[in-house]
């Protein structure tokens, strides 16, 4: 891990060292679109699924229960969050079906971390807005998608159909937690999809509160 990556890791540990204990309770009302993303994974038997920035493990547990014959992996840059995720899947008695690794999303190597080259599904739920080099993280995620596989992303939109005062208050509040919604996410995804020969499905949800994207690689 580079000096810059280590610095971001320490920042995330500091931000979530205490918050991780109440994260899921407080975030359930405004991290919209996560369950829709999970439902769209369509992970059958033997399908390998990676969550980039798995946080508390909330999404992985939901996916594990929805797709009981798929293989799951989780990575996060924060050791504090990984500790919470591991405890959560153990409490849910699902620890035998998921593997975890610490790493940076911009250069994550699944071969080194898990001994496998690529995944059939990779998903990023409200992580793009927290990663400084978010384009680099998406590019790396696409490189880790196997031919015929897909990358699924949900994150904050620009609240384009919501009142301006709501957007101003939300963005101010998110800034306290080092969260920055990416205004040019769609444009970046168009470029990344083209560079990988992938198709892009991009949908605003809840009047633009959140954006859901799926990039599919050709076989």
Which class for 57: exposed (0-12), middle (13-18), buried (19 or more C-beta within 10 A)?
buried
The pTM (predicted TM-score) of the whole model is: 0.87
pLDDT at 17: 53
Q: Is the pLDDT of residue 21 over 50?
A: no
pLDDT mean over 109-130: 97
Q: Between 210 and 22, where is the model more confident? A: 210
pLDDT at 178: 86
Q: Vertex 192, ends 51 and 117: CA angle to 5°?
A: 45
| In 50-184, alpha helices (H) | 58-66, 79-91, 110-114, 134-143, 164-175
pLDDT at 7: 59
Q: What is the spatial distance between Cα 172 and Cα 180, in angstroms, rounded to a whole number?
A: 10
Percent of the chain with pLDDT over 90: 80
């Amino acid at each position: 891990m580079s000096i810059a990556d280590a610095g971001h890791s320490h920042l995330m540990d500091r931000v979530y060292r205490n918050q991780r204990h109440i994260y899921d309770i407080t975030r359930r009302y405004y991290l919209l679109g996560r369950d829709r993303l999970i439902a769209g994974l369509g992970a059958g038997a033997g399908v390998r699924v990676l969550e980039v920035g798995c946080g508390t493990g909330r999404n992985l547990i939901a996916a594990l229960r929805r797709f009981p014959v798929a293989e799951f992996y989780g990575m996060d840059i924060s050791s504090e969050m990984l500790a919470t995720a591991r405890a959560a899947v153990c409490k849910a008695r699902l620890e035998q079906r998921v593997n975890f690794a610490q790493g940076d999303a911009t250069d994550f190597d699944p071969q080194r971390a898990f001994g496998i080259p690529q995944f059939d599904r990779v998903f990023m739920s409200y992580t793009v807005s927290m990663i400084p080099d978010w384009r680099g993280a998406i590019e790396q995620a696409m490189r880790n998608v196997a031919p015929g596989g897909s990358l699924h992303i949900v994150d904050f939109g620009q609240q384009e159909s919501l009142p301006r005062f709501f957007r101003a208050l939300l963005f101010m509040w998110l800034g306290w937690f080092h969260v920055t919604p990416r205004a040019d996410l769609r444009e970046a995804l168009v470029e990344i999809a083209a560079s990988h020969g992938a198709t892009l499905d991009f949908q605003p949800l809840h009047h633009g509160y959140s954006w859901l994207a799926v990039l599919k690689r050709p076989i």
